[in-house]
Structure 1
Amino acid sequence: MLNRKIQPASYDINEINFITPTIHQFKNNIPLYIFEGGDEEIIKIDFLFDAGNYYSDKFLIPVITNAMLREGAGDYNSEQIAEILEFYGASVRLTTNRDIAIAGLTFLSKHYEKILPVFEKIIKEPNFPEKELKIELNNRKQDFLIENKKTRFVAQKKFLELLFGKTHPYGNYAELSDFDEITNEQLKNFFKNNYNSKSCKIFIAGKFNSEVLKFIEKLFGDSLWGLNTEKNIIKFPIQSDINKIHTEKWDGSVQSSVRIGTLCFNRLHPDYYKFQFINVLLGGYFGSRLMKNIRENKGYTYGIYSSLVSFLNGGYFMIGSEIGSQYCNDAIDEIKKEIANLYMLDTNNDEIKMVKNYMIGQIMRSFDGMLNTSETYQTIIPYSLNEKYFY
């Protein structure tokens, strides 16, 4: 009988066997990254396009273009697409970041012949109808107005402007007036120039057979689709402010938002993972030094964190927190002290072991199952990295 008064034995993880994808090149040169496995009859397929904010001088255009893909495509209107997805138990995921736009579909394996042709229309032939566009813009405008009343949202926006400059795509954000200026012609032009077989990568994960892969190649890989001209990649100048500290402090507000950081290298730099270790040690998990000092010892905040953010053409390091307004200056002083302490490398073996175990645990969770593994590779494949990145 199990004695619950005795703590179970724990063991160090000395080796992780990473799952690696099978890579298939379609006739039109689209790479297909295959993660086959699992017990559930589920397939998740993701299309990655070079269509993030970096490719437009207006923050909203890439975001709205991606969000509108499912609002009418080919001969289907938005209601018909929604009904088909609901009937077959499928879901579409549309996300945009600074570099990449993702269109994903999750569905039951047995319905692939029914659902994939509809998704093909979503990927290749979106209509961007005026009615749905107005609804999308109005909803996002209301969300923007709500978020703009939060110090953390405004602080993040102004902090990235300090780092990259307001005109840089990594420092650019939407303004209220932008929501009234977006037209479906702008979206159609952006889609035409950025959604095509040349700028596409496909990831498929789950339980499927060779017939599914053949069907996907028939729909997406037999020939070129979209406008496949060479992109003119612009290298935007960074206009970084000397001051890398921003405090968003409003009259009458109990809490203020603090952001401290600097420009940094991305995943391609040989020291990136070493810096990630320092980041976790400083503020990357609940037991970090910043949490112990600023939250537990001083009581200035409920939470404080640090993060290392990688873009394809740059990156940054940031410390952020929502702090009692009367403690902002004291908290900033303590943050500076913790950063200075890193130079002394005043670490003990227990602290190092804790951080290493935490990071190993995070890696193991990111490779837990084929669907998670596929998403993890989507963060490194755009950099032309492979599983060796995690060693």
Structure 2
Amino acid sequence: MLDRTKAPETYEIDAITLQVAEVTNLSNGARLHVIKSETQPVIRLDFVFKAGKWFEEKTGESDLAVKMLQEGTLNHTAKQIADKVAFYGASFENNHGYDRTEFTLYCLSKYVQELLPLVLDVLQNPAFPEEEYNLLKQRTIQNVKVQRQKNSYLATHSFTKQLFGEEHPYVFGFDEGALKTLTKEDLQQFYRNRFLTQELEVFACGAIDTPMQRYLEHGIQQLQLQPSKASYITAQKKAAVYAADKSSLVYMEDSLQSSIRMGRRFPHIKDKDYLQLLVLNEIFGGYFGSRLMRNIREDKGYTYGISSVISTKEKDSMFYIGTDVNYAVTDSTIEEIVKEMRLLQQVAVPEDELQTVKNYMLGKFLNDLNTIFEQCDRYKKVVLHDLPLSHYNEFVTTVRTTTAPELMQLAQRYLQPDELYTAVAGRKS
């Protein structure tokens, strides 16, 4: 009989095993990655294009081009697309990013033959209807105007401009005025250059048997793809142009709050220090029990929430701290952030705190592998960032073996306050 007075045994995580996809190089130049699981009768298809902000010739064109693809094709109106997806209880959505753009279909596996032709029609035959383009452009301009009234948006925009330079594609957001000069022809040209290329990666996961896999291969290779074209952006434009002044203030006269962003560029995901920096970041501000939360939320009561993040892109990484506080304690909050950095540089992390963070990180990592979709996300990251298949085992090993002295050395190297950029949107006391 189960003795509920005793806690269950715990075990060390030595290694993990992720499903590795079966990869097929299709005749049109695309690659299909298939990860099979029969636990649920569902399937997810991710069509991943090198069509993010990195490849823009004009500000905002990648964002609008992506949205226009679902505004109608040569064979279906936008309403017909939405109605058919809804009829089968499916989901078809897009995700536009800095490096890539994804179109994702979720559906029951038995309906793939009804829905895949529709998805391929959207990707291959967009109509770019004039009326929908004008409405989309107006909505987007209005949305940007609304966002630019928010302190958090302005602080992040200002911070990334400091970090990368005015014209860098990794700058967050944009001025709505930049969209006014965009034309429908600009979006069509971006589509031709970036969505019809042989760099397409397709990830299929879920209840996929052999006939289904053959059907996917046959369908996807009907897309007419061309050799990829070089990125428009010059090497000089891609390079970070550091701001002379490490502090900036976007003054909001009537604001009672200030949004704070502090940080710097960080080692790339392939760098030897990257995995240990994940541990350091978790201790500093990466989870609810972090030092920043205990100090600035629990002890000082300056904010509802504060966090530090390592944001990884394909070409670069950045580390930043973000929070919103009453404007009167803006300077005090920044002082406390700096104080916590100094402590990590001068005092070794206690063993019990370090072990708690390690257990949290490994437990969360395992919990995030519960479904086949989550496992596919991990695999997709390995492919898109060109990482070794051993990456996640290296992550587990690094988390388990990282020591307090190593973290102190990393803090001394990467968390120097005078090397950080600080952007505030709002007011100071």
Which of the five TM-score ranges fits, normalised by the shorter chain?
Answer: over 0.9
Q: Secondary structure at the match of 1:35?
A: strand
Determine the structure 2 residue equivalent to 1:290: 292
Q: Measure, in 2, the Cα distance between the counterparts of 1:169 and 1:270.
A: 25
Determine the structure 2 residue equivalent to 1:69: 69
Q: Measure, in 1, the Cα distance between the counterparts of 2:91 and 2:11.
A: 39
Which is bigger in relative contact order (C-alpha 8 A, separation at least 6)? 2
Distance 1:249 1:12, change over 3 A: farther
Native 8 Å contact 1:192 1:227 kept in 2: no
- TM-score, normalised to structure 1, is 0.93
Q: Measure, in 2, the Cα distance between the counterparts of 1:158 and 1:145.
A: 16
Determine the structure 1 residue equivalent to 2:8: 9
| 1:279 and 2:278 matched | no
| 1:195 and 2:195 matched | yes
CA shift for structure 1 position 115:
0.8
Determine the structure 2 residue equivalent to 1:176: 176
Q: Secondary structure at the match of 1:199?
A: coil
Q: Which amino acid aligns with 2:10?
A: Y
Determine the structure 1 residue equivalent to 2:103: 103
**% same residue:** 27
Q: Measure, in 1, the Cα distance between the counterparts of 2:364 and 2:287.
A: 11
Q: Measure, in 1, the Cα distance between the counterparts of 2:328 and 2:209.
A: 61
- TM-score, normalised to structure 2, is 0.85
Q: Measure, in 2, the Cα distance between the counterparts of 1:67 and 1:130.
A: 13
| 1:252 and 2:246 matched | no
Q: Which amino acid aligns with 1:287?
A: G
Q: Which amino acid aligns with 2:67?
A: A
Q: Which amino acid aligns with 1:33?
A: H
| 1:141 and 2:126 matched | no
CA offsets 1:66-90 (integer angstroms, 9 cap, x no match)? 1221111231111111121111222
**Runs of 4+ residues over 6 Å off in structure 1:** 1-4
Question: Where do 1:17-32 residues align within 5 Å?
Answer: 17-32=17-32
CA shift for structure 1 position 7:
6.7
Q: Measure, in 1, the Cα distance between the counterparts of 2:109 and 2:29.
A: 25
Determine the structure 1 residue equivalent to 2:369: 367
Q: Measure, in 2, the Cα distance between the counterparts of 1:47 and 1:256.
A: 39
Where in structure 2 are there 5+ consecutive unaligned residues? 394-429
Q: Measure, in 1, the Cα distance between the counterparts of 2:363 and 2:310.
A: 18
Q: Which amino acid aligns with 2:34?
A: I
Determine the structure 2 residue equivalent to 1:151: 151
Q: Measure, in 1, the Cα distance between the counterparts of 2:9 and 2:333.
A: 37
Q: Measure, in 1, the Cα distance between the counterparts of 2:38 and 2:351.
A: 38
Q: Measure, in 1, the Cα distance between the counterparts of 2:117 and 2:219.
A: 7
Q: Measure, in 1, the Cα distance between the counterparts of 2:114 and 2:175.
A: 41
CA shift for structure 1 position 248:
4.5
Determine the structure 1 residue equivalent to 2:86: 86
Q: Measure, in 2, the Cα distance between the counterparts of 1:91 and 1:25.
A: 27
CA shift for structure 1 position 330:
0.9
CA shift for structure 1 position 12:
3.8
Residue range with higher mean Cα deviation, 171-180 or 150-159: 171-180
Determine the structure 2 residue equivalent to 1:225: 224
**Size of the alignment, in residue pairs?**
389
Residue range with higher mean Cα deviation, 156-165 or 138-147: 138-147
CA shift for structure 1 position 244:
3.9
CA offsets 1:196-238 (integer angstroms, 9 cap, x no match)? 241210101111211121112112226x723324424642221
Q: Secondary structure at the match of 2:146?
A: helix
Determine the structure 1 residue equivalent to 2:59: 59
Q: Measure, in 2, the Cα distance between the counterparts of 1:260 and 1:247.
A: 12
CA shift for structure 1 position 123:
1.3
| 1:264 and 2:263 matched | no
CA offsets 1:250-301 (integer angstroms, 9 cap, x no match)? 2232210111111122211121111111111100100001111111111111
Determine the structure 1 residue equivalent to 2:399: none
Q: Measure, in 1, the Cα distance between the counterparts of 2:26 and 2:80.
A: 30
CA shift for structure 1 position 126:
1.1
Residue range with higher mean Cα deviation, 355-364 or 227-236: 227-236
CA shift for structure 1 position 329:
0.6
Native 8 Å contact 2:109 2:208 kept in 1: yes
Native 8 Å contact 1:312 1:383 kept in 2: yes
Question: Where do 1:337-356 residues align within 5 Å?
Answer: 337-356=339-358
Distance 1:387 1:379, change over 3 A: same
Distance 1:19 1:245, change over 3 A: farther
Residue range with higher mean Cα deviation, 201-210 or 142-151: 142-151
Q: Measure, in 1, the Cα distance between the counterparts of 2:55 and 2:329.
A: 40
CA shift for structure 1 position 382:
1.3
CA offsets 1:52-79 (integer angstroms, 9 cap, x no match)? 0000143311111112211112311111
CA shift for structure 1 position 98:
0.7
Q: Measure, in 1, the Cα distance between the counterparts of 2:152 and 2:51.
A: 27
Residue range with higher mean Cα deviation, 288-297 or 225-234: 225-234
Native 8 Å contact 1:46 1:204 kept in 2: yes
